[in-house]
Amino acid sequence: MTPVFTDESTHIEHAPPPVQRIDDTRGTYGMLLFILTEAMLFVFMFFSYYYVEKGNERWRVEEPPKLHYALPQLGVLALACLLMWWGQKQAVQRKAFTARTMLIATIILGLGYLTLGYLDDLEHQLHVGPRTDAYGSIFYTITTVHAGHLILGILMCFWVLFLPRSKWEPVERPPHRPYYNVLLYWYFLAVVWAATVAILYIGPNVYNAL
């Protein structure tokens, strides 16, 4: 039953003021700004890759990195994004079990991605290491920084996983849509890795094949 408030001086009854939902987009704007700053970091690293390569003829004789780990890693991230997207839809519908299951599956896929990356590094270091030359330095810098960002994405999933279900999506006083914001971050991880595969893996293989 809706309470009624009475003005003591006039004895006129008033309905209570409507509940104002606090801004639930601030967290999303914050995540987008964070993604923008981190995207610029990768842009600068890709620029460094091309800048150093332009003046280093040794790169032309380096054995290009193999694709049999990098491409499955890309598939893993694409699948993780799909699961997170589905989980977020379930969170909106208050289906907590499915939403939490998608978070757990994303965490497992993230760990699988890191395992594939470790195996890729072990294989690539047979030919060039992070201290071998400029190529090795920038190559491992880019892949390691991305791995660090992915670890952060896994930690974000753990954070959302242990939040109460009522805090996932806007209700009356939401904590800025955490499930949706983490989904945006995983989109960012997938896009950056796709660019990394194209520039650091596919590009050198195509160049050597020509």
CATH code, 56: 1.20.120.80
pLDDT of res. 132? 79
Confirm whether 62 is domain-assigned: yes
Query: Domain of 168?
Result: 25-209
Highest mean pLDDT among 13-22, 45-54, 180-189: 180-189
**Range of lowest pLDDT (78-82, 87-91, 130-134, 175-179):** 175-179
* Assigned domain for 10 exists: no
Q: How confident is the model at residue 162 (pLDDT cuts 50, 70, 90)?
A: confident
Tell me the whole-structure pTM to 2 decimals. Answer: 0.82
Beta carbons of 154 and 115 less than 8 angstroms apart:
no
Q: How confident is the model at residue 63 (pLDDT cuts 50, 70, 90)?
A: confident
Residue 105 lies in a domain: yes
The mean pLDDT value for 46-63 works out to 70
Number of domains in the chain: 1
Quote the tokens at residue 65. 């990195």
Q: Say yes or no to pLDDT of 5 above 50.
A: no
